[in-house]
């Protein structure tokens, strides 16, 4: 009886804490104030057909950009594209199939972009999953979609980004990180396993993405491309629904939406880092609530050995070299 009471109090306390954090985040959320237009620019948003990615893509379309959205689902892609056109009045929107869990798909997609697009000014790596299984390429799907496939795509598109940027206005890469990286680990052995809990793989993938963002920015010094990570905060999106219990997932999405940020609110920091004039020369940083934050003070970030090992292991896993510089 007493034990039950303790368990009950613990659950209640945790729930109340989560609600307070969520409500706090919702109420302190900042909105991107930039009115900058993107006429003549081309932008690409992975996972730009639902949730936060759709909000980011719609915002870019309203600013006049040519918008490419990519996702692995045909129906969602077409309806996402139509929604962007409908809400922005900009017809220059295309949907392309991209499955980040397959290297072949990433290569095919990138080859199409390189051959058929004249420029690429902004790449928003927004897509992410929480499904833990082993892919055809032999990696944990969370690690491959959120990190390895995303980095492969970035590498393949770098020459076009470099070509489209200039000193005054570098092209921008935005990587979607997460506060969960605080409990992440750099654990190369786990990249090809699926024995741990999915959340740990998720946190690991986001930590790797945050660290790699910083390392890549160092290696892109002197180029015409900047790269930053953004933390959207706690946002109610489909990511919680897939891979977990559907009813539980839906409940989490409900609470995350109404007691924390909705996708439009969550999209603001990605939009800010992508378009804001003041952010245009910032590279290797971590944005939260439309500002550079010091949240990257995890010991991992200053460990040169870990970051070098991460760089080497990542390039080996995607079988690439840095294509520019
Ligand atoms: C470029 O676009 C054309 C026309 O849509 C298409 O047939 C071709 O396959 C594309 N190139 C690549 C490399 O995918």
| 231 in a structural domain | yes
| 198 in a structural domain | yes
Number of Cβ within 10 Å of residue 291's Cβ equals 13
Least reliable range by pLDDT among 53-57, 164-168, 296-300? 296-300
Angle between helices 149-164 and 304-318 (to 10 degrees): 90
| 1 in a structural domain | no
Does 244 sit in the ligand 1 pocket, CB within 6 Å? no
Q: How far is the CA of 129 from the centre of ligand 1 (A)?
A: 28
Least reliable range by pLDDT among 21-35, 64-78, 96-110? 21-35
- CATH number, residue 50: 3.40.50.720
Could you confirm whether 202 is annotated as catalytic?
Answer: yes
| 70 in a structural domain | yes
Residue 253 is predicted with a pLDDT of: 66
For 64-97, what is each residue's pLDDT tens digit? Answer: 999 999 999 999 999 999 999 999 999 999 999 9
Of 12 and 119, more confident: 119
Determine the Cα–Cα distance for residues 315 and 66; give it in Å rounded to an integer.
Answer: 31
pLDDT at 241 over 60: no
Counted domains in the chain: 1
| 80 in a structural domain | yes
- Cα–Cα distances (Å) from 136 to 110, 139, 151, in that order, read 19, 8, 18
Output the residue whose Cα is nearest ligand 1's atom 5. 116
Expressed as residue numbers, the domain containing 131 is 40-318
| 15 in a structural domain | no
Instruction: Tell whether pTM > 0.75.
Output: yes
R_g of the chain computed on alpha carbons: 19
Q: Is 93 helix (H, G, I), strand (E, B) or coil?
A: strand
Of 179 and 85, more confident: 85
- Report residue 21's pLDDT band, with 50, 70 and 90 as the boundaries: confident
Determine the Cα–Cα distance for residues 272 and 277; give it in Å rounded to an integer.
Answer: 9
For 247-302, what is each residue's pLDDT tens digit? Answer: 666 766 666 666 677 888 889 999 999 999 888 889 999 998 888 987 566 778 88
Angle between helices 149-164 and 198-219 (to 10 degrees): 30
Residue 248 is predicted with a pLDDT of: 65
The helix (H) or strand (E) run that includes residue 113 is helix 103-116
Does 115 sit in the ligand 1 pocket, CB within 6 Å? yes
Residues 201 and 132 sit within 8 Å (Cβ to Cβ)? yes
Using alpha carbons, select from 1, 2, 322 the residue that is nearest to residue 162: 322
Residue 249 is predicted with a pLDDT of: 67
Mean pLDDT over 192-201 rounds to 93
Q: Which of 103, 202, 240, 286 is catalytic?
A: 202
């Amino acid at each position: 009886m007493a034990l039950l009471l303790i368990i009950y109090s613990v659950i209640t306390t945790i729930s109340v804490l989560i609600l307070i954090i969520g409500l706090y985040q919702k109420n302190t959320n900042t909105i991107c104030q930039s009115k900058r237009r993107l006429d003549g620019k081309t932008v690409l948003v992975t996972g730009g057909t639902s949730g936060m990615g759709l909000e980011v893509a719609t915002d870019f379309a309203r600013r006049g950009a040519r918008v490419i959205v990519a996702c692995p689902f045909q129906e969602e892609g077409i309806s996402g594209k139509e929604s962007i056109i409908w809400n922005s009045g900009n017809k220059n929107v295309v949907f392309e199939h991209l499955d980040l869990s397959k290297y072949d798909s990433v290569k095919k997609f990138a080859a199409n972009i390189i051959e058929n697009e004249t420029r690429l000014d902004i790449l928003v790596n927004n897509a992410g999953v929480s499904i833990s299984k082993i892919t055809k390429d032999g990696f944990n799907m969370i690690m491959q979609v959120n990190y390895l496939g995303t980095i492969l795509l970035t590498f393949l598109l770098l020459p076009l980004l470099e070509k489209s940027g200039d000193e005054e206005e570098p092209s921008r890469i935005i990587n979607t990180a997460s506060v969960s990286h605080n409990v992440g680990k750099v654990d190369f052995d786990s990249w090809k396993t699926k024995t741990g809990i999915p959340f740990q793989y998720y946190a690991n993938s986001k930590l790797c993405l945050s660290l790699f963002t910083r390392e890549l920015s160092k290696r892109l010094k002197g180029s015409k491309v900047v790269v930053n990570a953004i933390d959207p905060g706690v946002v109610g999106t489909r990511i919680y629904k897939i891979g977990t219990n559907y009813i539980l997932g839906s409940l989490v999405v409900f609470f995350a939406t109404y007691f924390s940020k909705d996708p439009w609110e969550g999209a603001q920091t990605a939009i800010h880092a992508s378009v804001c004039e003041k952010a245009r020369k910032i590279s290797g940083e971590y944005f939260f609530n439309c500002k550079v934050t010091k949240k990257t003070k995890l010991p991992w970030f200053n460990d040169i050995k870990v970051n070098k090992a991460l760089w080497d292991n990542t390039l080996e896993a995607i079988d690439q070299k840095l294509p520019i510089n």
